[in-house]
Amino acid sequence: MRRARWLAEWANKQGKPAIYHCISRVVDRRFVFGDEEREKFRIFMRMQENFTGCRVLTYCVMSNHFHLLLEVPPVPEGGVSDELLLKRLRALYSDAYVDGVVKELESARIEEDEAMVAEIHARFTYRMHDLSEFMKTLLQRFTRWFNREHKRRGTLWEERYKSVIVQSGAAARTMAAYIDLNPVRAGMVSDPADYRWSGYGEAVGGGAKGNGKKARLGLILTVRNPETREQIQIESWEEVSRIYRRAMGLALVRKSGRAGAVLLDYASQNEAEYLEGATEDRSYLPDLGMAKMLRMRVRYFTDGAVIGSKEFVNEAFAGARERFTEKRKDGARRMRGSGAPAAGTLWSMRDLRVRV
């Protein structure tokens, strides 16, 4: 029997969202995603985001796999209102279909038939605020489109998608940077801002509205980690972008021969240039070893099950004690190998001793 997916133990509780790093690869790891496929995947992903109430903090669609950093909030207190339900339906369904739902709801409200109202809501809300439903629908919709376009049949994905529970704050910022640096590690671009099918690339290259704004909001949430979502300020993007670039090991440096001009470059090339981009108190300056770590494949980030502080990982362990044998006394495991620069800052649930 296939083991149940590990979800955050606080999932669906009021007030506290859960964050997951999700990864899925194409069967046989074939390089089948061109520009058209990556763009279509992005469109389906945003449609799912608008429908489900989940938020894509960042993402990256590569040639044979994708990464999502997905925030799954609890169901709003009091449930999903009629107005919100209809707004979300319009993300996936035609106007004609939604108009039919509107008439059903109006009729049920006029007749004060609360059971019917609940039934109408239940048809759709079970697919909202839910990691598994988000991923299942996204993968199925894309597979149907891909198979139709390429005249093929059968599964497109290698296996069940992987998911890692990620703590908000430092862990989420590090994971986001790792995701957005995928095309740099693959040698596709030298600056992640130049890769169109990623959260950071979309945030930099997108317009003031629509998905460009949505991508910026996702990264603002990740970097700022406000106590409530009402505290989001899109005006803070310029500062957040500087902080995020430093987290990725990028810095603003002066371009010779042009006074006052700046160029984005790698910290690994020149540490002095990297330091030049720091704030005056350097409170946001990450450890250079962490930045270099993000240029390597870190298996903990895809297979570690839970990533966060030692306390966070141990709390997740306590909440899912039944998943482990009696010999296991605690959850947090120190990161080794390519993940060693994060040791003591980030911890993993799994102790990956081979090829980490």
Q: What is the domain extent for residue 120? A: 82-125
User: Residue 255: pLDDT above 80?
Assistant: no
State the pLDDT at residue 152: 93
Whether 99 and 148 map to the same domain: the answer is no
d(CA 9, CA 268): 39
Is there a single domain that holds both residue 63 and residue 207? yes
**What pLDDT, on the 0 to 100 scale, is given for residue 257?**
45
The mean-pLDDT minimum among 28-42, 147-161, 198-212, 329-343 falls in 198-212
Domain membership flag for residue 273: yes
Which comes out higher in pLDDT, residue 78 or 230? Answer: 78
Q: Look at the alpha carbons of 50, 42, 301, 338 in this order and tell me if their dihedral is positive or negative.
A: negative
My answer on whether 91 and 191 are in the same domain is: no
Domain boundary among 258, 279, 295: 295
Domains of the chain: total: 2
Residues 95 and 181 in one domain: no
**pTM given for the model:** 0.88
Which tens digit of pLDDT belongs to each residue from 191-223? 999 999 999 999 998 766 677 899 999 999 999
Name the pLDDT band for 78 (thresholds 50, 70, 90): confident
Mean of all residue pLDDT scores within the chain: 85
Tens of pLDDT along 284-342? Answer: 344 567 888 898 999 999 999 999 999 999 999 999 999 999 899 899 999 999 899 99
Residues 240 and 264 both lie in one domain: yes
Which is nearest to 134 in space by CA: 88, 180, 181? 88
